[in-house]
Amino acid sequence: MSTRTRINAFIRYTILIGVGFILAYPLFWMVGSSFQHNIDIFGNLNIFPPPGRGTLEHYPAAWQLTARNNMAFYYMNTLRFLIPRVIGTILSCTLAAYAIARYSFPGKRIVFTLVIITLLMPELAFRIPIFMLYRDLGLIDTFAALYIQDFFAVGSFFVFMMIQFMRTIPRELDEAAFIDGCGPLRTLVYILVPILRPIIITVGLLTFMWGMNDFQGPLIFLNSPDNRVLALALRGLLSDYEVTYFGQIFAAAFMALIPTLAIFFACSKFFVQSVASSGGKE
């Protein structure tokens, strides 16, 4: 390796490490602040607490999130709609993308155009009509209201990603499967799904992450305290009438973030591979 190449590599990695630290600093600051008192949190921007002033008392208090239930209860409530949402999104978006990417039918261009238009529209535009529909169906204050629509390929972003990924797969595989006697569904399940594994894992990962961060959906559709999810319970730590212990809030937020971070790092290689491939075209 020449000297010029080493210098370029050093500069490149130095910039990447610097930018990465800047992007990750808020997370480090949140974790460090979970061991500090209010006066130390907002007195400086240090990640570590001042010497002799660190505390672990925020984590037991954060685990007992409310007077009624602890964090495990709210996390299980969150999974009650997250797991069906992930399953529904993967199934419906895969089938929709398969139909659009691999088959020709009347109005195909119109359908694909509608997918793009839906992708460009803000999600808030659909909240009121969906709420009125669920109210008439008696689904308000049920977890089904948070995932039933995901079984109908409403995730246009995921449909688009899968379409682009499928366009990188040679059609000769479909033709070979057809010659061997496979129908459309068997071709999808036995031929394409193993190749689609990176994009399927990415769709599931993003659906899980966005579902964990979803505050507005549970706020609108869930009313009873027993159906409260983790995002709503975390919001309850902010008090309008008493002293707010921000160290406890940061501790609860970090504990809520750990499963998502673990899943993300476990699936990161599939995420990078799917993003790199979904921009291609056959």
- Structure tokens that stand for 3 in this block: 């000297």
Q: Is the pLDDT of residue 281 over 70?
A: no
Q: Is the pLDDT of residue 17 over 90?
A: yes
pTM of the full structure: 0.86
Q: Is the pLDDT of residue 137 over 50?
A: yes
Q: How confident is the model at residue 270 (pLDDT cuts 50, 70, 90)?
A: confident
Burial 98-129 (b: 16+ CB within 10 A, else e): bbbbbeeeeeeeeeeeebeebeeeeeeeeeee
125-134: long-range contacts, CB 8 A cutoff, minimum separation 24? 127/216, 127/220, 131/220, 131/221, 134/221
Nearest CA among 82, 104, 85, 83 for reference residue 93:
85
Annotated domain spans of the chain:
3-56, 64-277
Q: Percent of the chain scored above 90 by pLDDT? A: 37
For residue 97, the model assigns a pLDDT of: 93
Q: Is the pLDDT of residue 265 over 80?
A: yes
Q: pLDDT (tens digit, 9 = 90+) per residue, 169-212?
A: 888 888 888 888 888 899 999 999 998 988 999 999 999 999 99
Amino acid at 155: G
Residue with tokens 């977890």: 143
For residue 98, the model assigns a pLDDT of: 94
Q: Looking at residues 230-247, what average pLDDT do you find?
A: 78
- Distance CA(10)–CA(178), nearest Å, equals 52
For residue 80, the model assigns a pLDDT of: 94
CA 281-96-110 angle, to 5 degrees, is: 75
Q: Is the pLDDT of residue 85 over 50?
A: yes
CATH code of 64-277, in short, is 1.10.3720.10
CA 109-112-116 angle, to 5 degrees, is: 135
- Distance CA(172)–CA(177), nearest Å, equals 8
Average pLDDT value for the chain: 87
Q: Is the pLDDT of residue 134 over 90?
A: yes
The secondary structure of 128-139, three-state, reads HHHHHHHHHHCC
Q: pLDDT (tens digit, 9 = 90+) per residue, 44-64?
A: 778 888 888 888 888 998 898
Q: Is the pLDDT of residue 278 over 70?
A: no
For residue 280, the model assigns a pLDDT of: 46
Q: How confident is the model at residue 158 (pLDDT cuts 50, 70, 90)?
A: very high
Q: Looking at residues 249-275, what average pLDDT do you find?
A: 82
Burial 168-177 (b: 16+ CB within 10 A, else e): ebeeeebeeb
For residue 240, the model assigns a pLDDT of: 55
- Distance CA(207)–CA(216), nearest Å, equals 15
- Structure tokens that stand for 116 in this block: 């793009």
Quick check: 150 and 85 in contact, CB under 8 A? yes
- Distance CA(150)–CA(146), nearest Å, equals 8
- Distance CA(255)–CA(15), nearest Å, equals 30
Q: Percent of the chain scored above 70 by pLDDT? A: 94
**How far from the centroid of its chain's Cα atoms is residue 80's Cα?**
15
For residue 260, the model assigns a pLDDT of: 86
Q: Looking at residues 85-108, what average pLDDT do you find?
A: 93
In the DSSP assignment, the letter for residue 48 is S
Q: Is the pLDDT of residue 2 over 80?
A: no
For residue 282, the model assigns a pLDDT of: 46
Quick check: 90 and 154 in contact, CB under 8 A? no
For residue 241, the model assigns a pLDDT of: 54
For residue 268, the model assigns a pLDDT of: 76
